[in-house]
């Protein structure tokens, strides 16, 4: 099992759209992925489960990955939690 920690960077936290992106990545993985925040933990294959954690900007999360290529998968998922999402991208100006 590989465990990594990340801090949510998105200004609006992990709401519906970022949750979908993160869960889609977890669904592509053949092993088990669990995320734990201050409000509890969930299987990362559930958008609703992830959203119920109420992850806001600055929230710490622990990602636990069990299966093939654990380290790379954990690193990739941690990067998604630390990504600044912008849906849709805002025009500069």
Comparing CA positions, the residue from 20, 9, 15 lying closest to residue 54 is 15
Comparing CA positions, the residue from 17, 12, 14, 11 lying closest to residue 78 is 14
Helix (H) or strand (E) holding 48: helix 47-51
CA–CA gap between residue 9 and residue 11 (Å, rounded): 6
Query: Would you call 15 a catalytic residue per the annotation?
Result: yes
Q: Residue 4 gets which letter from DSSP?
A: E
Among the options 2, 9, 12, 15, which is catalytic?
15
**Residues catalogued as catalytic:** 15
């Amino acid at each position: 099992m590989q465990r990594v920690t990340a801090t949510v960077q998105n200004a609006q936290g992990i709401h519906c759209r970022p949750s979908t992106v993160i869960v889609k990545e977890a669904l592509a993985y053949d092993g088990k992925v669990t995320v734990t925040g201050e409000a509890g933990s969930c299987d990362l294959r559930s958008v609703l489960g992830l959203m119920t954690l109420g992850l806001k900007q600055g929230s710490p999360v622990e990602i636990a990955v069990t299966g093939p290529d654990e380290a790379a998968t954990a690193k990739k998922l941690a990067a998604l939690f630390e990504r600044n999402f912008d849906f849709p991208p805002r025009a500069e100006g």
